[in-house]
């Protein structure tokens, strides 16, 4: 069965409307959580690590590295200056 141009356009418009509705619903349901996580990670000195910890938890990080997030922050504070100098030379 062949579709006419009008049928194809109607179907695409319907899909577009469904997707727009889905985006609005997702924003209403999860927008506050997303903003909270973005705010939480953007305040950090290491946003990638903060985002990972927010996603999977500090216990997972400790299991993978044998360090807690606070211990990693302390280690980073010790080596950050020297590494920054070496990295930017």
In tens, the pLDDT along 17-46 reads 999 998 888 888 887 776 666 555 556 677
What pLDDT is attached to residue 19? 92
- Residue 1 inside a domain? The answer is no
Q: How many domains does the chain have?
A: 1
- Residue 67 inside a domain? The answer is yes
- Residue 46 inside a domain? The answer is yes
Residue ranges making up the domain that contains 43: 7-88
pLDDT, mean over the chain: 80
This prediction's pTM: 0.36
Element (H, E) at 8: helix 5-42
Rg (C-alpha) for the chain, rounded Å, is: 23
């Amino acid at each position: 069965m062949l579709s006419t141009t009008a049928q194809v356009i109607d179907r695409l418009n319907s899909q577009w409307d469904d997707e727009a509705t889905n985006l609005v619903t997702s924003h209403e349901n999860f927008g506050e959580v997303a903003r909270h996580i973005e705010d939480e990670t953007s305040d950090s000195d290491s946003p990638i690590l903060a985002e990972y910890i927010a996603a999977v938890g500090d216990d997972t990080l400790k299991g993978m590295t044998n360090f807690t997030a606070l211990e990693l922050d302390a280690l980073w504070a010790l080596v950050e200056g020297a590494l920054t100098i070496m990295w930017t030379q």
